[in-house]
Structure 1
């Protein structure tokens, strides 16, 4: 069974690396249309990472701790309850699920820019959580 966790963790680490690379792009001298496209790609990579992250935590909970949870927020809450992360990271993980949901279900350019401005901070938390898995 742990092969499933290893496989999902490998996928997650690749996606996290891809997100990290995309966040290093310097857009200062680029046209607004190019900047918008890059931001859209960064946000899409963030959405993929958040989805892979909670699903990897779900497998981790089951394979390592025998805990079954199915919704993203319940998985993250249980992950925190078994003392695998600090409260501040727990809050960020919940916030990231909310951010992903907002991006997926409602498009509002102001909300998009607000979420995009938080990607570097979210990325720091993501790396910390992935390191512990």
Structure 2
């Protein structure tokens, strides 16, 4: 697969992941018991982790293909995207926080951490969606 095709493939996967993540966040948890709510919240967190990972990989491929720039770390990809004025400062800050939250969730699972991060998921989804929309013209 050529690099440009790979970028488009990643972009399409990212778009689908965002849609799935958003749908999971629209579930009304009041309709479920405590156990079911816990399972659904864990699923939402997993969708967040998957989606933010796809954003990073898509940004990495974008810089590789369109800018001939190899980026090694997720936060560096977000910084570079912001430096191109592709996203505004507010979105940039939310994305950086999302990257940090993903790292915290991936490396240490503590219920306190989960409870701190969970309320931010809707903000993260909006910022990821905004970044994806900014990427779209560059994937064609």
- Please report the TM-score for the alignment, with normalisation by the length of structure 1: 0.96
**Whole-angstrom CA distance in 1 between matches of 2:54 and 2:22:** 15
* Corresponding position of 1:19: 21
Aligned length: 133
Give the alignment's Cα RMSD to 1 decimal: 0.9
Q: Which residue of 1 aligns with 2:106?
A: 104
Are the counterparts in 1 of residues 14 and 58 from structure 2 also a CA contact under 8 Å? yes
- Is the CA contact 2:94–2:123 (under 8 Å) kept in the aligned structure 1? no
Superposed CA deviations along residues 36-70 of structure 1, whole A, max 9, x for unmatched, are 00000000000000000011011111212222111
After superposition, residues 86-125 of structure 1 pair within 5 angstroms as 86-125=88-127
Give the Cα separation in 1 of the matches to 2:32 and 2:81: 41
2:95 and 2:124 mapped to 1: Cα distance? 8
Other structure's SS at 2:29 match: coil
Distance 1:125 1:82 in 2: 16
**Residue 5 (structure 1) shift:** 0.7
Q: Which runs of 5+ in 1 are unaligned?
A: none
Gaps of 5+ in 2: 136-140
Higher relative contact order (CA 8 A, sep 6+): 2
Partner SS, residue 48 of structure 2:
helix
Aligned to 1:72: 74
1:122 CA drift (Å) = 1.0
Supply the distance in 2 between the matched residues of 1:29 and 1:93 (Cα, whole angstroms). 30
